[in-house]
Amino acid sequence: MTKVLEIFWRFLVLGCMSFGGPAAHIGYFHRAFVEKLKWLDDTAYSGLIALSQFLPGPGSSQIGFAIGLKRAGLLGGIAAFLGFTIPSFILLFLLSGLQAEGSFMIGVGGLIHGLKLFAVVVVADATIKLGKSFCTNTLAIGLAGGTAVFLWILPTIWTQMGMIVVGALVGFKFGSVAPPVEPKPGRLNRWALVLFFLLLALFPVLMMGPAPLALWGDFYQAGSLVFGGGHVVLPLLEQLVGDDIPQDRFLAGYAAAQAIPGPMFSLAAFLGAELLPGQRIVGAGLATAGIFLPGFLLVIGLHESWESVANRKGVASAIWGINATVVGFLTAALYTPVFVSAVHHGLDMALVLIGLFLVRWMKVPILPVIFVFGLAGWGMSL
């Protein structure tokens, strides 16, 4: 139980300060659990990143859930999810009760701006670190650079999925990676996979049930079908709510989900509360549970067999190529949306460079730097 409580606390801290979206979360997790706490090494962490790229659902939350799962079993995974998600869930639930659009932002715009600048620092630091780990030759550098270029030119989920496939094929064909250890027998957790498909198949039945059950079914379906997580879920959720939520309210919730720390999928808390105005906390809870559950069931079902498969020579080489494309994803995200949404003038850029120097080369702990950036953003807004 001590391990579970520690997992919850560590992820709660990250849930309160992880601004910047999925790309930044990869950096936060790497810094906290690979470098500082050493709960897993770079090889195991890169394997979790690769697994999350192949599964539907919230990629960074799946990585966090898998870290908790490896550390303390199912309770550890649940603790990681709750800790990382509770802060954003509370903020978006509270926003759903405000009648004036933008009220959430009053008085905190400058603070959020400073924290978004810190997210630039985190993503830049993660890009450098993972680049040094995963891009050690010309081919890997070319894969990372090509991925970033294609995503800047054609920023769609299909481009991202296509580059994952290209990276895997190039790695399988040309990568020469020895597996870190001899493959160990792995097994599928069949009950989790059966439950995933059973709940998805029951969607038509759920739609005919009471409003709370239908709401849960809608969001479970959304979480089952969205690859890429983060911003990719927006069009599906917009189609899901239809005319039940005015577009300005929907966009207010979406804007807030980008501005606050934690997973973008926490937007479900806002939408669920809006869709069940008479039972707001029930709606928020059901929508959040529904949209996260399918991705977590797949992680439970596949993570042990994935570790076994990932240690085979051909697969290890393919993962090498995928990891190079992940560096490209981070590089692309560093510019857009992270950089372009935060850096607007020279003073912003100066703060980013100072922050990168403090975090990367001076090894200053994250919390003091976050405080300084928040205070600087608030000061610039006066």
- Grouping H, G, I as helix, E, B as strand and the rest as coil, residue 56 is strand
Residues of the chain falling short of pLDDT 50: 100-107
* Cis status of the peptide bond prior to 337, with omega within 30 of 0: yes
pLDDT of residue 224: 85
pLDDT of residue 183: 53
Q: Who contacts 123 (Cβ-Cβ below 8 Å, separation ≥6)?
A: 20, 23, 24, 27, 330, 333, 334, 338
pLDDT of residue 176: 65
pLDDT of residue 235: 57
Contact indicator for 51, 66 with CB cutoff of 8 Å: yes
pLDDT of residue 139: 93
pLDDT of residue 316: 78
**With pLDDT > 90 as the criterion, what percentage of the chain qualifies?**
31
pLDDT of residue 78: 96
Residue 93 burial (10 A CB sphere; 0-12, 13-18, 19+): buried
pLDDT of residue 40: 92
Q: Who contacts 306 (Cβ-Cβ below 8 Å, separation ≥6)?
A: 47, 51, 186
Beta bridge partners of 227: 56
Spell out the domain ranges in the chain.
1-382
Cα distances (Å, whole numbers) of residue 240 to 72, 104, 214: 35, 24, 12
pLDDT of residue 100: 46
pLDDT of residue 174: 85
pLDDT of residue 44: 85
